[in-house]
C-alpha cells in the first residue's frame, strides 16, 4: 500500500479514538426520587451552596456526604464542588482561606466547622496526583487542571462516591451509575479497576474501608485484584499511609477492617513485622491482643470517646517488639534494655512502610518501655511508677496483655489493687508478704535446688 494511502487510512475520522465525552449523559434523580432533605444538610454547607448559586455558579455537594445522606447516615463533613475558581470563591466568602500551593482548595470556616469547596477538576495525566495532599509528600505534583462536572465525576474513586447533589434544583446528578450501586450495596471502582488501583494504590485501602464501614460488597473484579496488587502499597509515601491507616482503624469497625486487610494480603505491606509475627502463631495471644485493642477502639468510637493513636500502634507493633526483646534478653540484656533496643529496631523498620509521627512514637515507646517495670513490686519502685505521667496508658496496656493471655492475670490484678489501696495497705503490698516470700523462696532454693521450677 502506498504510504499516502496508509496515512489517509490512519487518519480516517471514524477510526480516530473516541473523545472522553463519549460517556452517556448523566442520570438526573429529581427531588421526588431520592431521600436527601435539606434538613439533613449542615446549615453552613447550605449557606455556601446558596451563595455560590446566587453568584451564578454551579454548586453541589459531592462525595462521602451525598453517599452518606442517601444511606441515611450522618456525614462526617460536607464537601462542595463548583465551577467557580478559587479566587472567585474567595471573593464570595470573608471567612475563606485558600490552601495548597498549586491545586488550591477553599476552606470556608464557620466556628469549628470547615466547608471544603473545590473547583471541578479533570483527571491529572498521571492519575492520582490530585488526591495526594502536598504536605503529605513534601512535593508539588502538578498544576491545577480545571474541568467540567462530568470530568470531575470520572476521576473519583468509587461510583457511590461520585454523586452530586445540585443546589439549583435539589436533584442528584449521577454520571457513573453510583445510584444503582448504592441501592444494591455494591462498591465499584469507576473505570478499569486495575488501571485505577495502579494510578493510586491507596484506593485498595479505601476499598476495604468503605466495604466494612458501609457493609457493601466489593465488586468481584475489584476484589480479585487486591492480593495481586497489594505490593503496590510499598510505593506509597509512608506519611500518606499513616493518615490512611488511622482512617482505617478509627472508622468504628477496626476489627473487621483488620481481618479484611489480612484476608486480602494488604496488611503485610503496611505492618510487615506484625504480619510475620502473627503468622507464626495464628491463634495465639498476639492475635488476641491486637483484636482486643481494636475492639476497645471500636467501643470508644461508638461512645464518641477519644481514641489515642499511640495506644493502637503500641498494640499493633507489640508482638514484634516482644519477640525482639526476648531475643536480646536471651543474649544477656536486662529486660529494660532489651525492650528499649527492640522498640528502636522495630520502629525504624516500621516507619519505612507507615510513618509514625513523633507525637505518636514517643508515648508509644513509653508504653512499651514501662512494661518491664510492672514486674518490680518492691520498695519505692511501684509508687514511682504510679506517678509516671504515662502510667495510666501503660497500665491499660498491661491489662490488655493480661486479657490476651500473654502474662499471668495475677500481675495485672496486683496493680489494680495497688492503685485502689490506702497508704497502709500499699506499704504492706510493697514490703511484707512480697519480700517475705522472696526470702523464703531463696532459702528453700539453697536447700533443695532441684525443686525450684518457678520462673
Ligand atoms: P469519609 O466519610 O470517610 O470522609 P469520603 O468518601 O468523604 O469518606 P474522603 O477521603 O473525604 O472520603 O474523600 C472525598 C471524596 O474525594 C471521595 O468521596 C471521592 O469522591 C474522592 N476521593 C478521595 N480520595 C480519592 C482517591 N484516592 N481517588 C479518587 N477519588 C478520591
Ligand atoms: Mg470525607
Secondary structure tally for the chain: helices H, strands E: 23, 10
Task: State the DSSP code for 219.
Answer: P
pLDDT at 347 over 80: yes
Higher pLDDT among residues 130 and 434, named by residue: 130
Domain for residue 195, yes or no?
no
Closest by CA to 354, choosing from 149, 196, 179, 205, is 205
What CA–CA distance (Å, rounded) separates 393 from 290?
16
- Give residue-wise pLDDT tens across range 150-164: 999 999 999 999 999
Number of domains composing the chain: 2
Q: Whose CA is nearest to atom 5 of ligand 1?
A: 64
Catalytic residue among 79, 130, 152, 219: 79
CATH number at residue 131: 3.30.460.10
Catalytic residue among 157, 200, 219, 298: 157
Structural domain harbouring 427: 277-431
Q: Is 235 a catalytic residue?
A: no
With H, G, I as helix, E, B as strand and everything else as coil, classify residue 405.
Answer: coil
Question: Do 44 and 146 fall within a single domain?
Answer: yes
Enumerate residues 6+ apart whose C-beta is below 8 A from 346.
273, 317, 320, 321, 324
Enumerate residues 6+ apart whose C-beta is below 8 A from 352.
238
* The predicted structure's pLDDT at residue 13: 43
Q: Whose CA is nearest to atom 8 of ligand 1?
A: 64
Print burial letters for 382-409: b (CB count within 10 Å at least 16), e (below 16): beebeeeebbebbbebbbbbbbbebbee
For residue 206, the CA-to-ligand 1 centroid distance in Å is: 8
Question: Do 30 and 161 fall within a single domain?
Answer: yes
Task: Write down which residue in 133, 165, 184 finishes a domain.
Answer: 184
pLDDT at 94 over 70: yes
Task: State the DSSP code for 61.
Answer: E
Question: Do 311 and 169 fall within a single domain?
Answer: no
Domain for residue 99, yes or no?
yes
Asked whether 412 and 375 are in contact (CB, 8 A), the reply is no
* The predicted structure's pLDDT at residue 238: 96
* The predicted structure's pLDDT at residue 356: 97
* The predicted structure's pLDDT at residue 441: 47
User: Average pLDDT for residues 139-160, to the nearest whole number?
Assistant: 82
Using only C-alpha atoms, the chain has a radius of gyration, in whole angstroms, of 28
CATH number at residue 319: 1.10.3090.10
pLDDT at 408 over 60: yes
- The closest-lying atom of ligand 1 relative to the alpha carbon of residue 76 is 2
What is the enclosing helix (H) or strand (E) of 60? strand 59-62
For residue 420, the CA-to-ligand 2 centroid distance in Å is: 44
Closest by CA to 92, choosing from 43, 145, 120, 56, is 56
- Ligand index nearest the alpha carbon of residue 178: 1
* The predicted structure's pLDDT at residue 22: 58
Question: Which of these ranges, 57-61, 370-374, 378-382, has the smallest mean pLDDT?
Answer: 378-382
Domain for residue 446, yes or no?
no
Q: What percent of the chain has pLDDT over 70?
A: 85
Domain for residue 442, yes or no?
no
User: Average pLDDT for residues 118-137, to the nearest whole number?
Assistant: 69
What CA–CA distance (Å, rounded) separates 198 from 314?
31
Task: Write down which residue in 132, 150, 184 finishes a domain.
Answer: 184
- Give residue-wise pLDDT tens across range 246-263: 999 999 999 999 999 999
Q: Is 79 a catalytic residue?
A: yes
Question: Do 167 and 57 fall within a single domain?
Answer: yes
pLDDT at 454 over 80: no
Question: What sign has the CA pseudo-torsion 151, 156, 158, 164?
Answer: negative
- Give residue-wise pLDDT tens across range 170-202: 999 999 999 999 999 999 999 999 999 999 999
- Give residue-wise pLDDT tens across range 220-250: 999 999 999 999 999 999 999 999 999 999 9
What is the enclosing helix (H) or strand (E) of 70? helix 64-70
* The predicted structure's pLDDT at residue 443: 46
What CA–CA distance (Å, rounded) separates 315 from 334?
22
Q: Whose CA is nearest to atom 6 of ligand 1?
A: 64
pLDDT at 134 over 90: no
Domain for residue 212, yes or no?
no
- CA–centroid distance for 88 within its chain: 34
Confidence band, pLDDT 50/70/90 cuts, at residue 129: low
Asked whether 301 and 252 are in contact (CB, 8 A), the reply is yes
Domain for residue 208, yes or no?
no
If one counts every other C-beta atom within 10 angstroms of the C-beta of residue 155, the result is 22
List strand residue ranges (DSSP E) for 79-220, in order: 79-82, 96-99, 105-110, 113-119, 163-166, 171-174, 186-187, 217-218
Question: Do 299 and 415 fall within a single domain?
Answer: yes
Domain for residue 242, yes or no?
no
Question: Do 162 and 309 fall within a single domain?
Answer: no
Question: Which of these ranges, 3-17, 73-87, 160-174, 228-242, has the smallest mean pLDDT?
Answer: 3-17
Question: Do 289 and 180 fall within a single domain?
Answer: no
Confidence band, pLDDT 50/70/90 cuts, at residue 125: low
Give the CB-side neighbour count of residue 358, counting CA atoms within 13 A. 0
Domain for residue 398, yes or no?
yes
Task: Write down which residue in 152, 184, 216 finishes a domain.
Answer: 184
Residues with CB under 6 A from ligand 1: 63-64, 76, 79, 128, 131, 156-157, 161-162, 200, 202-203
* The predicted structure's pLDDT at residue 3: 58
Question: Which of these ranges, 72-76, 126-130, 308-312, has the smallest mean pLDDT?
Answer: 126-130
Higher pLDDT among residues 379 and 66, named by residue: 66
Q: Whose CA is nearest to atom 21 of ligand 1?
A: 156
What CA–CA distance (Å, rounded) separates 45 from 412?
49
What CA–CA distance (Å, rounded) separates 436 from 376?
15
- Give residue-wise pLDDT tens across range 39-67: 999 999 999 999 999 999 999 999 999 99
Closest by CA to 150, choosing from 222, 83, 79, is 83
* The predicted structure's pLDDT at residue 309: 94
For residue 214, the CA-to-ligand 1 centroid distance in Å is: 14
Q: Is 298 a catalytic residue?
A: no
* The predicted structure's pLDDT at residue 396: 96
Question: Do 5 and 139 fall within a single domain?
Answer: yes
In angstroms, how far apart are the furthest CA atoms of the chain? 107
The grid coordinates listed for 198 are 495502579
Amino acid at each position: 500500500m502506498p504510504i499516502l494511502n496508509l496515512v489517509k487510512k490512519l487518519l480516517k475520522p471514524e477510526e480516530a479514538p473516541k473523545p472522553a465525552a463519549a460517556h452517556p449523559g448523566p442520570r438526573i434523580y429529581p427531588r421526588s426520587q431520592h431521600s436527601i432533605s435539606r434538613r439533613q444538610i449542615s446549615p453552613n454547607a447550605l449557606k455556601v451552596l446558596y451563595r455560590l448559586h446566587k453568584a451564578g455558579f454551579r454548586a453541589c455537594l459531592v462525595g462521602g456526604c451525598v453517599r452518606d445522606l442517601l444511606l441515611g447516615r450522618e456525614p462526617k463533613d460536607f464537601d462542595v464542588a463548583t465551577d467557580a475558581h478559587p479566587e472567585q470563591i474567595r471573593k464570595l466568602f470573608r471567612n475563606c482561606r485558600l490552601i495548597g500551593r498549586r491545586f488550591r482548595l477553599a476552606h470556608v470556616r464557620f466556628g469549628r466547622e470547615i466547608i471544603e469547596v473545590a473547583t471541578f477538576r479533570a483527571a491529572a495525566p498521571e492519575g492520582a496526583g490530585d488526591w495526594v495532599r502536598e504536605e503529605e509528600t513534601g512535593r508539588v505534583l502538578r498544576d491545577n487542571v480545571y474541568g467540567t462536572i462530568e470530568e470531575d465525576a470520572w476521576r473519583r474513586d468509587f461510583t457511590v462516591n461520585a454523586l452530586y447533589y445540585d443546589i439549583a434544583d435539589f436533584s442528584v446528578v449521577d454520571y457513573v451509575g453510583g445510584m444503582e450501586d448504592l441501592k444494591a450495596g455494591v462498591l465499584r471502582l469507576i473505570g478499569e479497576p486495575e488501571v485505577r488501583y495502579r494510578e493510586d494504590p491507596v484506593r485498595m485501602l479505601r476499598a476495604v474501608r468503605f466495604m466494612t464501614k458501609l457493609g457493601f460488597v466489593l465488586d468481584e473484579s475489584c476484589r480479585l485484584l487486591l492480593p495481586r496488587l497489594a505490593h503496590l502499597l510499598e510505593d506509597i509515601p509512608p506519611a500518606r499511609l499513616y493518615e490512611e491507616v488511622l482512617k482505617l482503624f478509627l472508622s468504628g469497625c477496626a476489627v473487621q477492617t483488620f481481618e479484611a486487610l489480612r484476608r486480602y494480603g494488604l496488611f503485610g505491606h503496611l505492618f510487615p513485622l506484625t504480619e510475620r509475627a502473627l503468622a507464626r502463631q495464628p491463634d495465639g495471644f498476639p492475635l488476641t491482643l491486637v483484636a482486643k485493642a481494636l475492639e476497645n477502639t471500636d467501643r470508644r468510637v461508638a461512645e464518641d470517646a477519644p481514641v489515642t493513636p499511640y495506644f493502637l500502634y503500641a498494640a499493633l507493633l507489640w508482638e514484634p517488639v516482644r519477640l525482639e526483646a526476648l531475643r536480646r534478653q536471651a543474649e544477656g540484656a536486662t529486660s529494660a534494655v532489651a525492650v528499649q533496643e527492640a522498640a528502636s529496631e522495630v520502629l525504624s523498620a516500621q516507619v519505612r512502610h507507615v510513618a509514625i509521627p513523633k507525637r505518636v512514637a514517643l508515648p508509644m515507646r513509653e508504653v512499651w518501655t514501662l512494661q518491664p517495670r510492672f514486674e518490680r513490686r518492691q520498695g519505692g519502685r511501684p509508687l514511682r511508677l504510679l506517678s509516671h505521667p504515662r502510667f495510666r496508658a501503660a497500665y491499660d496496656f498491661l491489662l490488655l496483655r493480661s486479657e490476651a493471655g500473654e502474662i499471668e492475670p495475677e500481675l495485672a490484678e496486683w496493680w489494680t489493687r495497688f492503685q485502689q489501696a490506702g497508704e497502709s495497705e500499699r506499704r504492706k503490698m510493697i514490703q511484707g508478704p512480697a519480700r517475705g516470700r522472696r526470702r523464703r523462696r531463696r532459702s528453700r532454693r539453697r536447700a533443695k535446688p532441684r525443686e525450684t521450677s518457678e520462673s
